[in-house]
Amino acid sequence: MKTLGRRTRLLAATTVTAGLVLVAGCSSSDSGGPTTVKGVHLVKGGQLTTCTHLPYPPFQSEINGKVQGFDVSLIDLVAKNLGVKQQILDTPFENFKTGAFLNSGQCDLAAAGMTITAERKKNVDFSDPYFEATQAVLVDKNSGINSLADVKAKGKKLGAQAQTTGEDFAKSKGFDPVSFASSDAVLNGMRTGQVQAVIIDYPVVQGWLKDKANAEKFKVVDNLKTGEQYGFTVKKGNKALLDAVNKALKDAKADGTYKKIYEQWIGPYNASVASPAAS
C-alpha cells in the first residue's frame, strides 16, 4: 500500500466549500467535542472520524462528488453500529505509519488500504486483516516487457507509489523505481511515458483496467503474491474501538454483507482473499 500529497482535507457529505470540504461516505451535523458512545471514545461528537489518503480506488476515491469505496463501506458498518456517521479526513500517508493523526486526536481510526507490517505495529494497533493483496506489474503493451525481470533486462523504467510496500518490494529486487506521490500520479506516469512499467497493489490495477482506454494501452504481466494483508488502524491501546471494528468485520463476513461490498468494489468474490487468517 501507499503516500499522498501534503494536504489535509475534511470530507463531508455535501459539496465543496472553499476547497476544504469535499464529500465523504457519510457526514454528521454534530461536530461537537469528544464523546463516548457505547463505550467507545470518539474525538468528535456524533461522528466516527476516519483518516484516509485519496485517491486509492477501489478502496477510497471521490466519485460523483462523494468519497466512496471498499474501505469506506466497511467503516460505515462500524459507524452504524455505534449510531453515528462517518466523516473522512484526507491526510498525507506518511502520518499513517507513525499514527500522528490518531495520537493528536484528529481521527478515531485510519482506513487507507494499508498493509499490516511489524514496523507499523510499533506505532498503531491494527484490526483483524480484512483483505489480502498482491502486487501487480502493469506495463505498456508496446514496451516489449513480459515480466518484472524484463523491466531490468531491457533497461526500462519502473514506477511505484512512494512509501508503499510496492516500492519496498521493487527496491528489494534491486530496482531504483521512479517514485510518484499518489496512485493517480503513477497512472499518469505510465500514460505520459515517464515509466514503461509500474508495480502497485493489484486491486488498484483492476480498477484502472476497467477503463477501456487503459485496457487498450496497458496489460498485467506479473501478479506477485507477497503475503500482504490490509488492516484498519487505531491509536495504540484503543481496545474499545478496535473491538468495535473487528466485530463489524466479523459480523459482515458472517451475514453476507462483506461479500456484497466486496463484489461491488473489488469484483468476483474470492473467499481466501476476502477472509485471510490473522497474522
Query: In sequence order, which residues have a C-beta less than 8 Å from that of residue 192 and are 6 or more positions away?
Result: none
82 half-sphere exposure, CB direction, 13 A CA radius: 29
Q: Are 210 and 179 in contact (CB under 8 A)?
A: no
Residue 85: all three cell numbers together: 456517521
Domain ranges for the chain, please list them.
Answer: 9-130+231-274, 133-228
User: What is the predicted pLDDT for the residue at 275?
Assistant: 53
Determine if residue 187 is left, alpha or beta; phi over 0 gives left, psi from -120 to 50 gives alpha, anything else beta: alpha
Mean pLDDT by 10 residues, the chain (279 residues): 41 31 39 87 96 89 92 98 96 84 95 91 96 91 94 95 89 95 92 96 87 94 88 97 98 96 85 54
User: What is the predicted pLDDT for the residue at 87?
Assistant: 96
Best CATH choice for the domain 133-228 from the list 3.40.190.10, 3.40.50.11540, 3.40.1350.10, 1.20.120.550: 3.40.190.10
Q: Look-up: residue for cell 516489449?
A: 144
Helices (H) and strands (E) in the chain, counts: 12, 16
User: What is the predicted pLDDT for the residue at 253?
Assistant: 94
CATH 3.40.190.10 at 9-130+231-274, yes or no: yes
Report the C-alpha gap between 196 and 230 in whole angstroms.
Answer: 27
Alpha-carbon Rg for the chain, nearest whole angstrom, is 19
Please report, as a single letter, which amino acid is at residue 151. Answer: V
User: What is the predicted pLDDT for the residue at 31?
Assistant: 54
SS3 content of the chain, % helix, strand, coil (to 5): 35, 30, 35
User: What is the predicted pLDDT for the residue at 34?
Assistant: 87
- The answer to whether 9-130+231-274 and 133-228 have equal CATH topology is yes
User: What is the predicted pLDDT for the residue at 178?
Assistant: 97
